[in-house]
Structure formats: C-alpha cells, structure tokens
Amino acid sequence: MHEGYEWKSLRHRALIACDQAGIALTPLREAVLHGLWKARSPRSAYELISELSEAQGRRIGPNSAYRILKLLSAAGLVRRVESKKTYCLSGMPDGVADILITCDGCGHVIEVSAKGVRNLLDQCSDTIGFQLSARPTEIAGRCHDCD
C-alpha cells in the first residue's frame, strides 16, 4: 500500500489532513507517522512505542502514543487493523476502505475501496436489523511474497 509513498508527499498529505481535522502535526505526531512509514509494515502499539522511544531518545508513554494514534486515525492517516491489533498508514485519500486484506505471513495490509461490497453490507445490515460497527471488513490471506 505505501511502498510508493515518498516521505515528502506523505508529510504534505499529513499537513493537509491534520489541518482539515483541526489538529497540528506536532513533532511527536510526525514521528509516529514517520515511524510507520519507515517500517513499511503494520506495527503493534508496543512496537511503535518502543521504536518511537528509541528514535526520540526518551520514553514515550503508552497513553501519549495511543492518543496520537487515535488522532492520526481520525485524520485518516493511520488505520488500526483490528484482527491483527496493529496500525498501518492509510493510503485512501478519502479514507474510505471497504475491505482490508491482511497477510498472515508478513502482516502486509492492502486497503480496497469496493462500493459493491459496501452496498451489500448496508443492505444486509438493513435486512437483518443489525448495525455494523466494525468497518472495513478484514480478510486474511497470504500475499504474493509470502505465498
């Protein structure tokens, strides 16, 4: 998903997204984004905190890290992968991903926008009268490199 991202263009998008979300891209928030960008693969909060603390040369508390991840998620820059309990960069410019395909081997995540799937799920939830709270739908598999 983010192999093609240059840090400069991600940072540029982050500045715009944060501005639209009414938050500032503080050095620490930028460091979290940069850490995810550099990792090139989803990270658990624990891994992020550890890598961030090392990069910053000081201990970053879990509360600050979770707060930052929540803010960056709300701004559409970071996505939590529920099934893997990890975080990755979100590459969807409009933040709309209907399916997350995750690799059981390397953890790689691909975001897919699929209006047909979205409509089908909306239709199903209407029919059965069940409000869906977990979106996007996560599907596990093995990527080309791991297969």
Residues that bind Zn ion (CB under 5 A): 103, 105-106, 108, 143, 146
Q: Which residue has the tokens 């047909």?
A: 116
Q: How far is the CB of 104 from Zn ion (least distance, A)?
A: 8
Q: How far is the CB of 134 from Zn ion (least distance, A)?
A: 23
Tell me how many degrees the CA angle 10-25-83 measures, rounded to the nearest 5.
Answer: 65
120 phi, psi to nearest 5 deg: -65, -45
65 contacts: CB under 8 Å, gap ≥ 6: 32, 45, 48, 49, 52
75 or 109, CB closer to Zn ion?
109
62 or 141, CB closer to Zn ion?
141
110 or 121, CB closer to Zn ion?
110
130 phi, psi to nearest 5 deg: -130, 120
Residue 13: C-alpha distances to residues 6, 98, 125, 134, 147 (Å): 11, 21, 34, 26, 33
Q: How far is the CB of 124 from Zn ion (least distance, A)?
A: 30
Q: How far is the CB of 1 from Zn ion (least distance, A)?
A: 12
Gap between the Cα atoms of 85 and 90, Å rounded: 15
95 or 107, CB closer to Zn ion?
107
62 or 105, CB closer to Zn ion?
105
Q: How far is the CB of 2 from Zn ion (least distance, A)?
A: 15
